[in-house]
Chains A and B, each alone.
Chain A
Amino acid sequence: MNEFKQLFKSTKSILTIVIIFILSTFVSSLPFIAAYQGKWEQAKDPYSIGNELVMSLFGFFLIFLLSHDILSREIHLKTIRFLVSKTTRLNIVIGKYLGLMLFWLSCIMTTYILNMVISHRFLFSDALKILTFISVGISCALFLSMLFPTPQKSMFVGMLFSFLFPIMSMMSVLSSERLIHWFQYVTPYYYARWSEPLTYVLMNAALTVVLLVGTALLFQRRDV
């Protein structure tokens, strides 16, 4: 909850909403969106297509920009010792995850409500899909923040990851090269192509669980 309050009280929340809203509105007005709108089964609303594209391209970057040091900062400052002495490490990881999810839930819902004002439609399933995508991003941020427990290292690795991961994921999905093709199964981008939204949500949930368990195991082994 502390994470949510810290992020939400600052200008970061307004900036995040403004960035996503402006970019998605801009993307939705592009001519190719209108041309392909009918073919894209899930995204019948141009604003929703805009949101999905923006989050696919910049989602990881935004998540890491805001939360690359979510655990490493506390380990570095030793404030994590207060938490570790009061609750289990798994609870700490879950608490951090939920705090960040709550922040992104607020941002995404606000963006969809703003879109609704223009389009007069609220696409709940699309919002849910984006949130599960964000959930994977947050879990990655937590995992890397635990793997590199100084803010400088986690920032460098996090930023690099947020650029490379979407590129590699898209390449692995589009390429038939065996060397990179396997990578698609561990990215949310692959499951986004499936027509069944529930599969996408479930696969992202599974990726989230795997990453959170990995973070908790790393945390368990680490002296803080």
Chain B
Amino acid sequence: MLHTKGLTKKYRTKVAIDHIDLDIHQGDIFGLIGPKGAGKTTFFNIITGISRPTSGTFIMMNMTSLKKVRHHIGVLPEYSDLYEGLTAIEHIAYLSKITGTRQKTSYYEELLEFVGLHRYHQEKVGAFTPGMKKRLGMAQAIAHQPDFILLDEPFADIDADSILHIQRVIESLKFEGKTVFLTADESRFTQPICTKTAFISEGKIVSSSTHPQEKTITSSTIRATFKHAWIDDEVKPVLTQYLQSVGTDLVIRDDETSLLIRSEAQVPAIIRAFVKCKVDLYRVTAQDAMMST
């Protein structure tokens, strides 16, 4: 379904993604997980035609041109707003018309029911909560019944009810044999639904695809230990959230933090996270977790 080779995006002073090679096959529910600023959205934007790569290539559905696959893919981009002056039904109808797949109003009503918005189909989108907007975004992505659905941060900043609805929609897409690619900050919401996961950090894939059902993240083999100064209460939650997203079995003490990681390549990014949070580091060790036990 998607094959990327050496996909790279450079801005003036920053490399957003660095030589990313990924393969997503028919029927995969593929999650690209990584902290904010890791390069997930940049990667997503490139494969959906929102931005262009600096170098590298990708093939989607065996076609090199996005023009030809547009009708076969459904995209939920990262966004801050929808067309607030339109109602939910008008919104889906408008975007479907652009795809050239206008359907009957009753079909859109069913679609809104599917994402749990049936009571709001005549409401203006401007009055929607972020979770409702995300569900509407999901509905427009699948309105033309695409084979490959790409979702950028479908679980970000939304209520629990909306998370459940979106998970349910992805589950039913999985049941229909569709292919889904999604990105997320952490694997909490993606683990129950994804069949494959890749982790991205600082623009690089730090672990190749895994099948959570067969091989979970707890199969990490390296325990990284960071001896550090006192962590300020203000930055502690941010740092904790970041560390939880890159590793498992996190233990934070006043002067020492340890976690299980998948690769030594993750260590520099974690050090940078400590530095960014203005936490002085005294010693870093990384050793095989199996040997240490």
Contact = CB atoms under 8 A, between A and B. Distances in A.
Interface string B56-72: 00000000000100100
A218 interface: no
A87 B66 CA distance: 9
A199 interface: no
A83 B140 CA distance: 11
Contacts of A84: 48-50
Nearest to A224: B50
Nearest to B9: A223
Nearest to B83: A79
Contacts, number: 57
B82 A85 contact: no
Contacts of B98: 83, 86-87, 95
Interface residues of A, number: 17
A79 B75 contact: no
A145 B77 CA distance: 22
Given A2-B94, A85-B75, A87-B98, A77 B80 contact: yes
Given A2-B94, A223-B45, A86 B99 contact: yes
A79 B51 contact: no
Interface in B72-111: 73, 75, 77-83, 85-86, 94-95, 97-99
B52 A77 contact: no
A78 B82 CA distance: 8
Nearest to B80: A78
Q: Which of B70, B85, B98, B99 has the most CB of A within 10 A?
A: B98
Contacts of A2: 83, 86, 94
Nearest to B152: A81
B70 A81 contact: no
A106 interface: no
Interface in A85-116: 85-88, 95
A85 B67 CA distance: 10
A89 to B, nearest CB: 9
Q: What DSSP secondary structure best describes chain B's contact surface?
A: loop
B48 A85 contact: yes
A78 B45 CA distance: 12
Contact of B52 (A6, A87, A223): A223
Contacts of A6: 85
A79 B253 CA distance: 44
B81 A79 contact: yes
A32 interface: no
Given A223-B50, A224-B51, A82 B95 contact: yes
A1 B52 CA distance: 28
Given A6-B85, A83-B98, A88-B67, A78 B52 contact: no
Contacts of B75: 81-82, 85-86
Contact of B79 (A78, A87, A88, A95): A78
Nearest to A73: B81
B50 A85 contact: yes
Nearest to B85: A6
B52 to A, nearest CB: 7
Contacts of A224: 50-51
Contacts of B70: 85-87
Query: Looking at B50, B52, B78, B140, which has the most chain A CB atoms within 10 Å of its CB?
Result: B50
Interface of B: 45, 48-52, 67, 70, 73, 75, 77-83, 85-86, 94-95, 97-99, 140
23 contacts: A6-B85, A77-B79, A77-B81, A78-B79, A78-B80, A79-B81, A81-B45, A81-B50, A81-B75, A81-B78, A82-B75, A82-B140, A83-B98, A84-B50, A85-B50, A85-B77, A86-B70, A86-B75, A86-B98, A88-B67, A223-B50, A223-B52, A224-B51
**Which 8 A-B pairs rank lowest in CB-CB distance, beginning with the nearest?**
A223-B51, A81-B77, A85-B75, A77-B81, A78-B79, A86-B98, A86-B99, A85-B48
